[in-house]
Amino acid sequence: MSISTADVIIASPGRNFVTLKIVTSDGVVGWGDATLNGRELAAASYLRDHVASTLIGRDEDRIEDTWQYLYRGAYWRRGPVTMAAIAAVDMALWDIKAKKLGIPLYQLLGGASRDKLRVYAHASGNDYAALSQAIRGYVDEGYTAVRIQTGVPGLDSVYGVSATAKPGEKYDYEPAHRAADGSAATRPVEEDWDTPAYLRHVPSIFEKVREEFGPELRLLHDGHHRMSPIEAARLAKSLEPYDLLWLEDATPGEDQEAFRLIRQHSTTPLATGEVFNSVYDYQTLITERLIDYVRSAPTHTGGITAMKKLLDFADIYGIRSGLHGPTDVSPIGMAAALHIDLAIHNFGIQEYMPHSDLTLETFRTSYTFNRGFLYPGDNPGLGVELDEELAGRHPYTAAYLPVNRLLDGTVHDW
């Protein structure tokens, strides 16, 4: 048996996705996700123009060897584009291997270590009334964990908060923006930011949430890379009374040593890594126990092979998974995360931003949600199939993540 074809499908059923389809000489189909929000075409070209032809004729069962062949054989290492492309190949080969055995993928990763996967929802609001309504809605649906993002007085739009959604309205918060008329974007939108106003405002929001919703609801918050190390330490310390499950991306994670400063000032648990793409991005953070949760998605970190190694490494240091699960990881990438989540010992929690109806019509999934928990399902492989005909009706349309600026115009992390 060998790989016969490797094709890249770029489509936009609800938003842009990059999908790899590998078919073996026996006709077994494997799917992989290489979606890189705002840089989709780069990942697609890496696969289509530099990887696909090298796969033809390879033994599809040699997953580790193929991973090493693509990682070391490229000479140029790591980076989001390279690792998203390798991830897609890796996912597709794991999908094929499990399908050939007729078993769900998690069975190849050691079998189930739990019966279900606790997930967290994204609750947000421009003001507390809207936020409270959003939280209540999720609690009523059975969620036991919610991420809290709030508007900031004086700022028009803030990461994680829809500028247009009405209080309590469910919206598919898609951070990448097309042009206002829905056509292809030619440049990012620009947003403004004021860290002092944010630092003054956020603790009061968590105080109100705890007063209204009590001590048990697991609360998370995403700092989204926007604070300096000492600002992050100040926020982490100010949030201690509200017992967060985690403060995420408190400061840009590439400065791994900066997390020492946050740790010196606070016991608020820390999560980071969604913009990372290899274990080396985490090496100091993990070995010095500077974080508590690993945030990567298999789609951005070299796939299932690399993600499993990373999480087993983190487990040695008492660090848990908190895998990235936004709508800009495709249902294939989400399924890969769920199969890993189910099998590993050090599962923490899974992010769950439900994809839009159109996305889910196009990617037929077998994972299921039930009152705050997900289950990857027992279909063979990843359990996701792409409807190529339907995908083909929704062509790629350029969309970009926003660029953030401080009030004086200085570019800032978004």
CA-based R_g, the chain, Å: 21
Angstrom distance (rounded) from CA 414 to CA 412: 6
CA distance 398 to 414: 19
Sign of CA dihedral 320, 401, 221, 371: negative
Backbone phi, then psi, for 150, in 5-degree steps? -130, 150
Interface with ligand CS2 (CB under 6 A), residue from 14, 151, 252, 326: 326
Is 16 a binder of ligand CS2 (CB under 6 A)?
no
Q: For residue 136, what are its two tokens?
A: 């209540």
Residue 37's binding partner out of Mg ion, ligand CS2, none, with CB under 5 to 8 Å set by partner kind: ligand CS2
122 carries an active-site annotation: no
For position 328 contacting Mg ion by CB under 5 A, the verdict is no
Residue with tokens 């279900």: 116
Q: How far is CA 230 from the centre of its chain?
A: 26
Of 273, 391, 379, the C-alpha closest to 330 is 391
Alpha carbons 376 and 68: distance in angstroms, whole number: 27
Measured torsion, CA atoms of residues 382, 114, 328, 92, in degrees rounded to the nearest 10: -20
Shortest distance, position 160 Cβ to Mg ion, whole Å: 8
Q: How many residues bind ligand CS2 (CB under 6 A)?
A: 9
14 binds ligand CS2 (CB under 6 A): no
Residue 160 is given by DSSP the state T
Which residues sit opposite 32 in a β-bridge? Answer: 20
**Catalytic residue from among 221, 224, 225, 300:** 224
Q: Is there a catalytic annotation at residue 282?
A: no
Nearer to Mg ion by Cβ, of 274 and 328: the residue is: 274
Site string for ligand CS2, 368-407 (x = CB under 6 A): ---------------------------------x------
CB of 222 to ligand CS2, least distance (A): 5
Cα dihedral 293, 296, 302, 305, rounded to 10, equals 40
> In the set 60, 95, 281, 351, which binds ligand CS2 (CB under 6 A)?
351
| Contact assessment for residue 317 and residue 14, using Cβ atoms and an 8 Å cutoff | no
CA distance 179 to 3: 39
Classified as helix, coil or strand, 372 is coil
* 328 binds ligand CS2, rule: CB under 6 A: yes
Nearer to ligand CS2 among residue 222 and residue 281 (C-beta): 222
Query: If contact means CB under 5 to 8 A according to the sort of partner, which of ligand CS2, Mg ion, none does residue 175 touch?
Result: ligand CS2
Say which of 159, 198, 282, 375 is annotated catalytic.
Answer: 159
Show the CA angle centred on residue 94, arms to residues 293 and 354, nearest 5°. 50
CB 75 within 8 A of CB 112: no
| Angle at CA of residue 248, ends 188 and 402, nearest 5° | 5
Cβ proximity to ligand CS2, 212 vs 254, nearer residue: 254
* Contact letters for ligand CS2, residues 214-233 (x by CB under 6 A): --------x-x---------
Nearer to Mg ion, 60 or 222 (CB): 222
Task: Please state the closest distance from residue 175 (CB atom) to ligand CS2, in A.
Answer: 5
Under rule CB under 6 A, residue 274 binds ligand CS2: yes
Cβ–Cβ < 8 Å for 249, 223: yes
Residues 232-291 contacting Mg ion, CB under 5 A: 274
Chain residue whose CB lies nearest ligand CS2: 37
Asked if 67 and 86 count as a contact pair (C-beta separation under 8 A), the reply is yes
Q: Does 37 bind ligand CS2 (CB under 6 A)?
A: yes
Helix (H, G, I), strand (E, B) or coil at 285: helix
Backbone region of residue 163 per phi and psi (left: phi > 0; alpha: psi in -120 to 50; beta: other values) = alpha
Q: Looking at beta carbons, which residue is closest to Mg ion? A: 222
Count of residues making up the chain? 414
The number of residues that bind Mg ion (CB under 5 A) is 2
By a kind-dependent CB cut-off of 5 to 8 A, residue 404 interacts, out of Mg ion, ligand CS2, none, with none
Instruction: Report the site for ligand CS2 in 163-202 (rule: CB under 6 A).
Output: 175
Q: Is 222 in the site for Mg ion (CB under 5 A)?
A: yes
Residues 103-142 that bind ligand CS2 (CB under 6 A): none
90 binds, among ligand CS2, Mg ion, none (CB under 5 to 8 A by kind): none
Q: Cβ closer to Mg ion: 274 or 385?
A: 274
Q: Are strands 270-272 and 246-248 parallel, antiparallel or unpaired?
A: parallel
Of 13 and 175, nearer to ligand CS2 (C-beta) is: 175
Chain residues that interact with ligand CS2, rule: CB under 6 A: 37, 175, 222, 224, 274, 326, 328, 351, 401
Active site amino acids: 159, 224
Chain residues that interact with Mg ion, rule: CB under 5 A: 222, 274
